Amino acid sequence: MERLTQAIKEHARECGADLVGIASIERFEGVAPEHHPLSIMPEARSVVVIGRRITRGTLRGVEEGTQMSHYGMYGYDWLDNRFVALTTFRTAEFIEDHRWEAVPLAPLPAQIPASGIPVRAGLPAPNVMIDLEDAAVRAGLGEIGYCGLFLSPRYGPRQRFQAILTDAQLDPDPILTEAICTRCLAPDKLCPLGAIQADQESTLDVCGKKMVVAHIDYGLCRTCKNGARPNAYHNAAPPDRLAALCTRTCISQLEKAGRLENAFENPFRKRAPWAAVVKWEYKEGDLDL
Ligand code: SF4
């Protein structure tokens, strides 16, 4: 299956994918049936995770505090529902052209509660929701950073994912072993509302990859006026934080530390960032916060 694996990845990239990773179904051992790929496709052998970047410039208007809407389109709605969706669907078509079934998975949050009753004994209630960022870790694409954001070596927190379940037995990618998150700043320097809570940190273990994460008070994030948005799919899911002050600071810090492969001529943070609610004073020229 090595040739098919490579062909699928090349096709996904030709269709616009920036990130493609493959997890074998065995990597989902221990996942609850309510979130397990086999609950949707019992014959699934592989999970193909596809990501496209949020371009850094998409965040510029939010960072400067002058234009919030373009992020909502190029960074969230259109990126999810047009760009990544098309890349995912065309890759699913390619897989089916090679005689293997391909189930495309939209980026519906795993927190969406069941909306029905089990159709048979032993089955979870519909709708089963797969955690796509968890799947991306299992597919070797990155890690969950200390602030609860998915981080890839190429883009840090700047990407969105969809996935495909298939009965094709593909070659899995290795789990990423090196850490991306440096835990660079104290949580109160990342979040002025105190939503990133180090006193309640925990350790995630995904396929043996251990990741220490702070507790995130999403109730506070839902009140955030620093670039967070309501979740586009369901109120039960965490708000979208990818343009919020915490994420923009994370991007700035990872770039300064030289941790990201997608490097730029000029730094992301050039002056004090826009934020509506802060507890500290930015000093002119103090880009280290
Ligand atoms: S989204 Fe807002 S409240 Fe939540 S961690 Fe980020 S900056 Fe803090």
243-283, pLDDT tens digit by residue? Answer: 999 999 999 999 999 999 999 999 999 998 988 766 555 55
CB of 159 closer than 6 angstroms to any ligand 1 atom = no
Apex CA 88: angle with CA 85 and CA 93, to 5°?
Answer: 120
CB of 191 closer than 6 angstroms to any ligand 1 atom = yes
pLDDT at 286 > cutoff 60: no
Residue 82 is classified by DSSP as: I
Q: Which atom of ligand 1 is nearest to the CA of 223?
A: 3
> Domain residue spans in the chain?
1-263
| Residues sharing a CB contact under 8 Å with residue 117, sequence separation 6 or more, in sequence order | 125
* Burial bucket for residue 89 (CB in 10 Å: 0-12, 13-18, 19+): middle
Q: Which residues partner with 206 through β-bridges?
A: 209
pLDDT confidence of residue 281: 55
Q: For 76-99, what is the mean pLDDT? A: 98
Ligand 1: which of 220, 240, 247, 250 to mutate, judged by most atoms within 8 Å of the beta carbon?
A: 220
Distance 90 CA to ligand 1 centre (A): 35
CB of 248 closer than 6 angstroms to any ligand 1 atom = no
